[in-house]
Structure 1
C-alpha cells in the first residue's frame, strides 16, 4: 500500500480537527502543524479553507459509502445490518461523549454559519437515510420505510447530542438497548440477502 500523499494527509488531519475543534475554529496553521508541513507547502494543495472542507466532506462520504457496503456484505439480513448502524453509538461512545457525532456536529456548525457546503455535508445523512430505508423495506415495512429510517436516524442523533451533553455512557447503552427493542418490534418479511 503506497504512503498517503501530502494532500491526503492534509484532508485526514483536517477531518480530525474539524471534528474535534470545529470547522470555524480550525485554522490553516492548525492543519499545517498537524501534518508537519509549512504553510507554503499547504497552499500548494489547498488555496482556501472551503477547498479543504469540500475535500473533507468528500472523504467522509467515501468512508460512509465504504462502511455501508461493508455492512451490506458482512451481515446476512436487514435486521443485522441495521444493528451495525445502531452499534456505532457503542463502538464510538468515547468520541461521541467528547465531540458528538462527526456528521451531526459538522452539519449543525455549517447551518449556523449559513455555509454553502452544509447541503453537501447533509448528503452524508442522506446516505444513511437511504440505506436504512432499503433495510427497513427488506424487513417488510415497505410503506413506512422512509419515515422509519428518518425516525431511527433522528433517534441516533438525539442519543449522540445528549451523550455529549451528559457524558453518560450508561445513557448510550440504555438507548441502544431501547433502539434494539424497537427494531425487534418491526415485522420481518422474507429474507433477501441481496437487499
Structure 2
C-alpha cells in the first residue's frame, strides 16, 4: 500500500470511529490498531489526532460538495433536489438510528469541547444551508429562501435526533412524508413540481 493509500485508509477509519464512538472517545492508538499500523509508522502520516480530525472534516466537505452537485445535476426540479436531501434520513436510517446524524453529532461534540475545529465542522451545515437556499431560490422563494433552508435543516436534525433516541423507522418515514407535504405547500403556483416516486 502506497503512502497516499495508507493516509487515505487512516482518514476513512478515523471518520468511521469518530462517527460511531465520538472524537474524544477515539484514541490515537485505536485508530492505529484498526488501520493495522505500528505507532511509529502511524506518526509518519499524522502527528496528532487533531490533524486527523482536520483531514476527516476536509474529506466530508469534499464528499458533501460532490453529493450536492450530483443531486442538482440529476434532479428534475428544485423540489426533487430538496427531497434528495430529506431522504438521506431514510437512506441512512440504520446508521442514524444507531449513531445519530454524522454532521450533527460531530458539530455537537466539538462545540461542547470548545474545540478549535468546531467552526470547520459547522461548515458542513453551512454547505447544506447554502445549497438548500439555492433550491428554494430556484423555486421562486428568494425572499425567504434562507429561512426555508434553515427550517428544512432544523426538521431533519430533529428527526435524526429522535430517530436515534427511539430507533423507530416508522417515525422516520412518517416525518419524511410530513416534510414532503410541507415542501409541496411552499411551491408557488405554476412552479415546476415533480411528483416523487419512492423506490
TM-score (norm 2): 0.92
| 1:23 aligned residue | 23
- Give the equivalent residue in structure 1 for 2:60: 60
Note the alpha carbon deviations across 1:94-125, whole angstroms, 9 max, x for none.
00000000000000000000101000000000
Unaligned stretches of 5+ in structure 2?
Answer: 193-199
Alpha carbons of structure 1 residues 37 and 149: separation in structure 2 relative to 1, 3 Å: same
Counterpart Cα distance in 1 of 2:3 and 2:63: 18
* Deviations 1:5-52, CA, capped at 9 Å, x for gaps: 100000000000000000000011111111111111111000011000
Q: Which residue number in structure 2 is paired with residue 167 of structure 1?
A: 167
SS at match of 1:144: helix
CA change 1:190–1:183 in 2 (3 A) is closer
Q: Give the whole-Å Cα distance in 2 for the aligned partners of 1:162 and 1:143.
A: 31
Secondary structure, counterpart of 2:72 in structure 1? helix
Q: TM-score, normalised by structure 1?
A: 0.94
- Following superposition, the deviation at residue 4 of structure 1 comes to 6.2
Partner of residue 74, structure 2: 74
Per the alignment, do residues 176 and 190 of structure 1 end up closer, same or farther by CA in structure 2, a change over 3 Å counting? Answer: closer
In the TM superposition, residue 3 of structure 1 has moved relative to its aligned partner by 10
How many pairs were matched up? 190
Task: Tell me the equivalent position of 2:195.
Answer: none
Give the 5 Å matches for 1:1-195.
5-188=5-188, 190-191=191-192
